[in-house]
Amino acid sequence: MSAIRERRTVDLPLLSPDPIDDQTLGTLLEAANWAPNHGRTEPWRFAVFTGEGRTKLADALAKSLALSQGKEEPAPEARETQRERQRMAPVWIVVAAQPAEKPRMPLYEEQWAAACAVQNLLLAARALGLGSKWISNVPSMHPHTARALGFPEDSTPLGMLYLGHVAGEWPAGKRGPAQDKVRWFRD
C-alpha cells in the first residue's frame, strides 16, 4: 500500500542524472511482465533507452511531432530540443500493445493489459525509490514513433515512461476519500 499511496508523477526537472542499473531495470520489467491479462496473451512490449540510446528516441519523437504538424522533417532546433528533453531522465521506456497472431480478445483488452503492465512497473519503481511519469502525448503515440523503434505494424503505441532518482524531497500527493467515488448496492 505504501508504493501505491506514494507513487507520483515526477516532473523531469526533479530528477537527478544518476543512471539506473540494468538489474533494477530488469526488476521493473519483470514486474511489468506479471500484469494480468485476459486470454494470457502477454501483449505488452517495451523499448528501453538509456545513455546515448536516448538520441534515437529523441529523433523518432521529433520526426513524429513534425509529421503530426504536416511537415516531413523536424526543424534542427526542434530535434535538439527533443534531444535535450530526453537527456533529462536517465531512462525512457516506450510502451506498445502487441495483439496475438490469432487474437481471441478485442484489441482494447490487449491495450488495457499493457496499461496494467505499465502500472505494475510504476509501482515497482516507487517501491525501489524511483520517480516516474507516463506520457501519452501526440509524438509518443504516433505510429511513426512505434515503427521507427521497431514495433510491428499491428502494435498500438501507448506512450512512454521516464524513470530517475528524485533529487530532493519526494513529491507529496493528495486524493479525496475513496468512499466519495463508490456506490454500494447491498442486500
Residues annotated in the binding site for FMN, as ranges? 7-9, 38, 134-136
Choose among 29, 85, 26, 19: nearest CA to 55. 85
* Nine cell digits for residue 79: 530535434
Query: What region does 106 belong to: left with phi over 0, alpha with psi -120 to 50, or beta?
Result: beta
Q: What ranges in the chain are assigned the alpha helix state H? A: 2-6, 22-33, 54-68, 76-86, 107-127, 138-141, 143-148
Beta bridge partner(s), residue 48: 93
Residue indicated by cell numbers 505510429: 143
> Using the 8-state DSSP alphabet, how is residue 40 labeled?
S
E-strand stretches of 137-184: 156-165
Strand order in the sheet with 91-97: 44-50, 91-97, 156-165, 130-135
Q: What's the CA gap between 165 and 182, in Å, rounded?
A: 35
Report the binding-site residues.
Answer: 7-9, 38, 134-136
